[in-house]
Structures are given as structure tokens and as C-alpha cells.
Amino acid sequence: MFEHLSYSAPLRKTITWAGIATYIVLAVLAVVFYKERVAFVDLSFQLFTILQENNLTIQNFRFGAAITQIVPLLSSRLGLGLHSVALLYSLAFVGWYAFVFAFCVWVCRAARWGVVMLLLSTLMVTHTFYWVQSELQQGMAFMVLFLAIYQRWLLHDQWPGWSVPVLTAGLFTLCFFHPTLFIPFTFCCLFFVFRNPHGRVRHMWLLTAMLLMTYIKNKVFHTVYDTENIKRIEQLINLFPYYFTTNSFHNFVRWVLHDYYILALGLLASLAYYTWKRQWLQLVLVGGFFAAYAILVTGSYPNGQDPQFYMENLLLPLTIFVAVPLAFDIIPELPMRWAVATILVILAVRIVSIGFAHSPYTNRINWAKRMLHRTEHLAQRKLLLPEQGVPMDTVMMAWATPYEFWLLSSLEGKKQARSICISTNPEEKLWSLGKTQSFIATWGVFDYVQLPPRYFPFPVEDTTSYRRTTYSELMTSAKY
């Protein structure tokens, strides 16, 4: 009945249990490394804002992020402590991906889309397991869910009366998840246009609607942040034809060999399969999208100075270009035992890789803890530091340090939250050093009375002012 979306009963059962086991292990890792995930750059800022404003914090109109942000918001409104809120926020992302997998397999009976979701959660994810808030990754999960529902209705030509508003709302949400989400969506639609005459016209209409909505969204709801990123595409013209000579592309090749080798093997398997089958359109589609998108990302950030977690996030759609052919064409062609072995080996290797990738993120947490411990011996515990001298290879990004130190000092069982701001331009904040009853953050100065004491245990009796110092001075004074 579901022959175009599922597998044989034994293989479907194996995939179901493999998926359950995978998301359980990922959930355990999300608990074990919850500080590495939540007290890291964007997520610490988002958690600060959610708790301070008692509301969602949607940026750049990417309201799809509400799916995961609703968890810490509801947790705080239920009166849970900061430890529980942070822990649940870390779990929320794994929970969202597990929900998509379960919905595909059990509700839509679309085990092939379930495999795509499993691969999306593991095949390339390494550092993005610790930089978790990406709307692009969350949006691709929503895309998998959307296409699974759409194709189930299409397969049986059963369109409920409420299908049109649901699909319209789904496309609308997809457009607002991330500006580049239309690229993997385009790939998926073209893949099924080439693969199966049944539904070819409907997939083309679906793609047209998505591209039209994306165009309107970018014209009407554009932001400075998105506009600046789109302008990076202009660098591609200036680079032509030297796309493979950039530092960023060299980094990408190195990462493929070290971290994403199974992704590369999956790509080679797909290209070999379509060559063997003489399915030239699919061959060009898979190879062309993979190469073009890799060039698009590396050419837009040619200097190679951006950290791997950020670049990995931008490159994650490469997973779709490999996972969809594997799930829909290659795995069904394999003998049962080979199909099972392939899936289990991929999941096992990738989960181990994700676990071992924690080191740089654990190191930065340990560094921050040492900073907090050393400042305990100082009378002055509200500090403003420049980046100079700070081990940025460990810290990675300085802008979120006020939020990270607030969160860690509160989670570490301190009676008082700590205010430490490492800034690229501390002179801009000199005016606020005299504010004795305020928390200096990267974006804003917050009076203690604005902050709920349950989550922001800043001492209202503290009348000391901020001290501008340097990292070397701090380390020297902390020894005595």
C-alpha cells in the first residue's frame, strides 16, 4: 500500500528500532553535554532573552524556531529551575528531530523519509550537534515532515478538505525558516520529477509555489542580516573560475576527509548507482547540486576564517543531496542484510563521531569555569575585558561571553551570578561601567530589577561598579 514511500516489513521494522536507538543515544549525549550546547554562543543569548522577556525570541522573522524555543519558555512559566530549563532546552532539538522521524515512520508510513531524517541527524552533523540552534537544520527537518505528508496524500490521491490550508501554511513556514532552504527543497522536487511520472506535475506546481513564496518573502520581509549574507554571493562572480583555490574550499576538503567521509562515500555510491542504471538526469542532479552548493558556500566565505561549526551548518543541505538518493533508490535495491548493515554502520560510526567531537566545546566550558573560580578571589566580580590576550581558539566567539558566564555561574551552584563581558570593542561600553545595579551584555544593559531573580541571581545589595581590565592582568591578580 505504501510501496513508494516505505520498505519491506522486516526492513521497516529494523529502521524503526534503529531510529529509536539513535535518538535515545543522541538524547543521552544532549543531557551529558547540555552545558556545551546551551552555554555556547547563540543558545545562551536566546535562553537569556527568553527568560528575561518571558517570551519567544524570534530573529530575522525565522518564526519556525518557536518549535524548540517553546520548551524553555513553558518550562520557565511552570516555575522549573534554571538547571531543568537548560537541560530541557538541550533536549528540545533532539526531541524535534525524533518527532519528525516518528511521524514519518508511524503516521505517514513513509519509512524512506524516516531514513532521510535519520541521516539528516547524523550523516554530516558533527560540530553542529553542539551549535544546535540553527534554523537551517530545524527547517530541513520541517521540510522532511512536509514532503512526507504531501507525498502520502499524493500517492493515494487523497486530499482532505483541509489539505490546501495545511500545505499553504507549511510552505509559508518553510520560507521563513531560513533563506537558503529553497535550495534543498528544489532538489527534492526535481528528484521526484525525474524519478516518477506519477505526481510529476504536482511536484512542479509545489516547487513553483515554494519559489514564488520565497521570492515574495525576501522582497517584503528582508532584514539587514539576511541582505548582508545574500550580498556575499557577489564574491562568487569575482572568484570565477578560481572556486577551488580558496582557503574555505581547502578547509571543506579537509573536513570531508576527516569528519564527513561517510557523506563522501554516500555521494560516490549515488553517482555510481545512477551511472550503472544510466539515469543521467538523476546523476547530473545529484552531482550538480552537491558541487554547486559546496562552491556556493565556500565561495561566499572564501577566507576560511569562519569556525567549522558555522560552516558545517551552512553546508548541511549537502546531506539532503545524498540522503534522498540513498533512502529512495539505493537502499531498496540492496539485499536485506546489506541494507540493514549499511544503515546500522552509518548510524553507529556517526554517533561515535558526534560524541568524540565534544572536546573543543568541553574545553571552552572548562576554561570558563576556571575563569569563574579565579575571580572568586577578587573583590571585583563584574569585569569588562578586551579580546586581546584571551585564548580565542578556545573561546571561539567573544560576543556571547556575558550570557555564557551568567548561565554557567548560575548553573555551577554559585549563590550569585557573575558578570564578565569580553568585548571586541570595550570602549563602546565604558559609559556603563558606573552602573552598579545592572548587567552589561553585548546588546543592552539590564537593570537587576528587570531580571527575574529565579534565573538571574544577581545580588541587589551589590553596589560595586564594573572594572575594566585585561586578561593578562586578571590572570596575574587571580594568582594572589
User: For residues 479 and 461, what is the distance between their CA atoms, to the nearest angstrom?
Assistant: 27
Statement: residue 3 has pLDDT above 70: no
Give pairs for 148-154: CB < 8 Å, separation 24+.
148/5, 148/103, 148/104, 148/108, 148/110, 148/113, 149/108, 150/206, 151/4, 151/5, 151/108, 151/110, 151/113, 151/192, 151/199, 152/2, 152/5, 152/108, 152/109, 152/110, 154/198, 154/199, 154/202
Q: What is the pLDDT of residue 473?
A: 86
C-alpha cell at 149: 505528508
| Cβ atoms 356, 28 nearer than 8 A | no
In whole numbers, what is the pLDDT of the chain averaged over residues? Answer: 92
pLDDT tens, position by position, 126-179:
999 999 999 999 999 999 999 999 999 887 777 887 888 999 999 999 999 998
User: For residues 427 and 183, what is the distance between their CA atoms, to the nearest angstrom?
Assistant: 42
Closest CA to 190 of 286, 110, 272, 118: 286
Q: What is the pLDDT of residue 479?
A: 56
pLDDT tens, position by position, 204-234:
999 999 999 999 988 888 777 777 767 777 7
Q: What is the pLDDT of residue 480?
A: 45
DSSP H helices in 357-470: 359-375, 392-395, 401-411
pLDDT tens, position by position, 363-420:
999 999 988 888 777 666 789 999 999 999 999 999 999 999 999 999 987 667 888 9
pLDDT-derived band at 2 (thresholds 50, 70, 90) equals very low
φ, ψ dihedrals at 180, nearest 5°: -95, 5
Spell out the residues 6+ positions from residue 5 whose beta carbon is closer than 8 angstroms to its own: 108, 109, 110, 111, 112, 113, 148, 151, 152, 155
| Cβ atoms 36, 357 nearer than 8 A | no
pLDDT tens, position by position, 14-26:
999 999 999 999 9
Closest CA to 20 of 93, 81, 87, 105: 105
Q: What is the pLDDT of residue 379?
A: 64
Statement: residue 266 has pLDDT above 60: yes
User: For residues 181 and 217, what is the distance between their CA atoms, to the nearest angstrom?
Assistant: 12
Helix axes 280-300, 318-325, angle to 10 degrees: 160
pLDDT tens, position by position, 61-73:
899 999 999 999 9
User: For residues 106 and 152, what is the distance between their CA atoms, to the nearest angstrom?
Assistant: 12
- Please classify residue 54 by burial: count the beta carbons closer than 10 Å to its beta carbon, then call 0-12 exposed, 13-18 middle and 19+ buried: exposed
Spell out the residues 6+ positions from residue 275 whose beta carbon is closer than 8 angstroms to its own: 283
Q: What is the pLDDT of residue 415?
A: 63
Instruction: Calculate the CA 370 to chain-centre distance.
Output: 28
pLDDT-derived band at 270 (thresholds 50, 70, 90) equals very high
Element (H, E) at 383: strand 382-386
Q: What is the pLDDT of residue 380?
A: 65
| Pairing of β 467-468 and β 382-386 | parallel
Statement: residue 108 has pLDDT above 70: yes
Average pLDDT over residues 93-118: 97
pLDDT-derived band at 347 (thresholds 50, 70, 90) equals very high
CB atoms within 10 A of CB 254: 12
Boundaries of every domain in the chain: 9-357, 360-477
Give pairs for 288-291: CB < 8 Å, separation 24+.
289/183, 289/187, 289/321, 290/318, 290/321, 290/322
User: For residues 327 and 241, what is the distance between their CA atoms, to the nearest angstrom?
Assistant: 34
pLDDT tens, position by position, 425-462:
888 888 888 888 889 998 889 999 889 999 999 887 77
User: For residues 106 and 6, what is the distance between their CA atoms, to the nearest angstrom?
Assistant: 11
pTM exceeds 0.75 for this model: yes
Closest CA to 257 of 363, 128, 126, 131: 126
- In one-letter notation, the amino acid at residue 170 is G
Statement: residue 103 has pLDDT above 80: yes
Dihedral Cα 362, 364, 369, 375, nearest 10 deg: 170
Q: What is the pLDDT of residue 1?
A: 38
